[in-house]
Chain A
Amino acid sequence: MAVATGDIALTGEQSRFDRFLEFARRNPTIIIGMAILIFMGIVALLAPYLVNDPRTLNPINRLKPPSAEFWFGTDHLGRSVFDRTVYGTRISMAVGLSVAILSTVIGLAIGLVAGYIRIVDAIVMRIMDGLMAIPSILLAIAMMALFGSSVENVIIAITVPEVPRVVRLVRAVVLTIREQPYVEAAVSVGTKLPKILYRHILPNTVAPLIVQATYVCASAVIIEAFLSFLGAGTPPEIPSWGNMVSEGRVYFQITPWMILFPCACLSIMVLTVNVLGDGLRDTLDPRIARRMR
């Protein structure tokens, strides 16, 4: 991991581009991770223009191995595994990003209030402790069983177990910051609570929240795949990597490519997000980085 060894002299003439290069040289993981994710994002957005409809059935070409015509082979209904894998990027991206954003926003709101108001804190944290005692996959599949399968419900079912983790993080930050002299000073000159939260507390939560959001995103992508794999996630007619593995597992011994490619893409995406998270953590929060290294 690239670590800053000393301060570089930032002169006025140094162009934006030079600074970017310097940043890239020191933090290759962040740049590479970002590049891979942006590429995957573009693939997800442009999927309809890049490949054929992933639902196209082609019964003559069932269970065909990878070839020039079908790069990743075909599945049990003769659908192109490549087209389906490309489309699968959409679901994983959408779920990962939505869950990361939703749980960060909700967790931030609850955490700020809990960290500042004692009585709310006592109640909210007990509820969060209870929620955290339930393994997140189990909680998510139970919610899916009751809500029925749709992409929106997948997002909700994964967000609920992630929120308590964000709340804990935000609350911990708030509890340390509120004791700082500058907050005390702000209180003493009569600053209103919302303004204190917004001006003094909130900015301090940004760095750890960004890092946490990347980890939440990685875990959301995995849990979506798990839910779909178990048949309690994304509706089966939508190609998602989890659904593809779920369909392909029956034919695993004869046609391993049916699950190989979605598995590989899934692992690469999660690995990239995790590595990006580690890179951001090292850059944004050197204190934690030193402890973890």
Chain B
Amino acid sequence: MYAYVVRRILATIPVMGVVAIFVFLLLHLTPGDPAAVIAGDYASPADIERIRERLGLNDPLYIQFGRWIAHLAQGDLGISIFSNLPVSQLVAQRLEPTLMLTVTTIVFAIIIAVPLGVFAAWKAGSFIDRFTMLFAVLGFSIPVFVVGYMLMYVFAIQLRWLPVQGYVSIADGFWPFLRSIILPSFALGLIYIALIARITRASVLEVLTEDYIRTAHAKGLSSNVVLIRHALKNAAVPIVTIIGIGIALLIGGVVITESVFNIPGLGRLTVDAILRRDYPIIQGMILLFAGVYVLINLLIDLSYTFLDPRIRY
């Protein structure tokens, strides 16, 4: 067991290594002079030279890479070219909205999707089931900004129930915070809800054909008990797996959602950095998001042993 945990943790090192090398090389793979690319079309030769000096682009590649990794190891993501502030500081400033948005989205999504999927599987072939499957296909197909603007038009502009855009920190009151986060969460969460509901339905449907479900019914347990304690519990592994894999969808969606709803989070930071070619921020954000994704999936892999005691490594 411990050997497995250690092995699994070690397995993340090559993955993050590849991410780091790729992120590092990306700048050097671009055709032309990286300093000129960052400086943009209207830069003077002096500007370009300054950027080259600043990023240490005059050194050989392996020295640049070694220096970059050494800094990374100390939590130093570099310094923004545009604002001259450390990237880690910028990230810290923008962390709260993104963190709150993703956490609320995950909570909303699980609360909606899992019961929907279980119910659809239980009443397979019924109206609810068909509705769930239709919803799942729609959820995959309607881009997040389309959902965002639709929700905004109906609930904020026409009905005026919720604010149109912006983010209120949870420190300024829970209710205003919740009001500002509801629409973005649902817009971002739709694809995630569709994904989780679909997998929940499929895996519960499979478990429901097992003999022990019939036995549980036969010994007179109520449908609720059978569904939750017997079916859902045994269908948990694929559901939890998809929750982890879906995090990648969420991270991509956050970038768009924050632009639609004008939320000053990490997604906005990334987009602004990209439009200004602020390369240290871009590098830092890709590493950070990839790291979060790898970490969450590591935790999920490790959780299997608790969810299903039969899994022994």
A: residues with CB less than 8 A from B are 126-127, 129-131, 133-139, 141-147, 218, 222, 225-226, 229-232, 245, 249, 252-253, 256, 259, 263, 266-267, 270-271, 274-275, 278, 291-293
**Smallest Cβ-Cβ distance to B142: which chain A residue:** A267
Contact of B294 among A133, A226, A274 (CB under 8 A): A133
Q: Which of A146, A232, A256, A271: most chain B Cβ within 10 A?
A: A146
B19 interface hit (Cβ, 8 Å): yes
Whole-angstrom CA separation of A60 from B290 in the bound complex: 49
Whole-angstrom CA separation of A267 from B141 in the bound complex: 6
**Smallest Cβ-Cβ distance to A148: which chain B residue:** B37
Q: Is the CB of B293 within 8 A of A138?
A: no
Tell me if B's interface is mostly helix, strand, loop or mixed: helix
- With both chains docked as a complex, state the minimum distance between the C-beta of B309 and any C-beta of chain A, in angstroms: 24
Q: Is the CB of A130 within 8 A of B18?
A: yes
Q: Which of B19, B146, B198: most chain A Cβ within 10 A?
A: B146
Contact of B274 among A129, A230, A291 (CB under 8 A): A230
Contact of A144 among B145, B249, B274, B286 (CB under 8 A): B274
12 pairs, CB–CB < 8 Å, chain A vs chain B: A130-B22, A141-B274, A218-B140, A225-B145, A229-B259, A231-B275, A252-B149, A253-B157, A256-B149, A271-B138, A291-B202, A292-B198
B17 interface hit (Cβ, 8 Å): yes
Count B-side interface residues using an 8 Å CB cutoff: 54
**With A146-B26, A274-B137, A278-B137 as contacts: A138 and B252 at CB distance below 8 Å:** yes
Q: Is the CB of B140 within 8 A of A230?
A: no
Whole-angstrom CA separation of A291 from B15 in the bound complex: 30
CB-defined contacts of B251 to chain A, threshold 8 Å: 135, 138
B277 interface hit (Cβ, 8 Å): yes
B27 interface hit (Cβ, 8 Å): yes
Q: Is the CB of A145 within 8 A of B137?
A: no
Q: Which of A126, A133, A249, A293: most chain B Cβ within 10 A?
A: A133
Whole-angstrom CA separation of A131 from B23 in the bound complex: 10
Whole-angstrom CA separation of A292 from B270 in the bound complex: 36
**With A226-B143, A229-B145 as contacts: A138 and B285 at CB distance below 8 Å:** yes
Q: Which of B247-275 contact A (CB under 8 A)?
A: 248-249, 251-253, 255-256, 259-260, 270-271, 274-275
Whole-angstrom CA separation of A135 from B289 in the bound complex: 8
**With A129-B15, A137-B256 as contacts: A271 and B145 at CB distance below 8 Å:** no
Q: Is the CB of B255 within 8 A of A230?
A: yes
CB-defined contacts of B74 to chain A, threshold 8 Å: none
B16 interface hit (Cβ, 8 Å): yes
Whole-angstrom CA separation of A213 from B256 in the bound complex: 24
Whole-angstrom CA separation of A260 from B290 in the bound complex: 33
Contact of A136 among B18, B26, B252 (CB under 8 A): B252
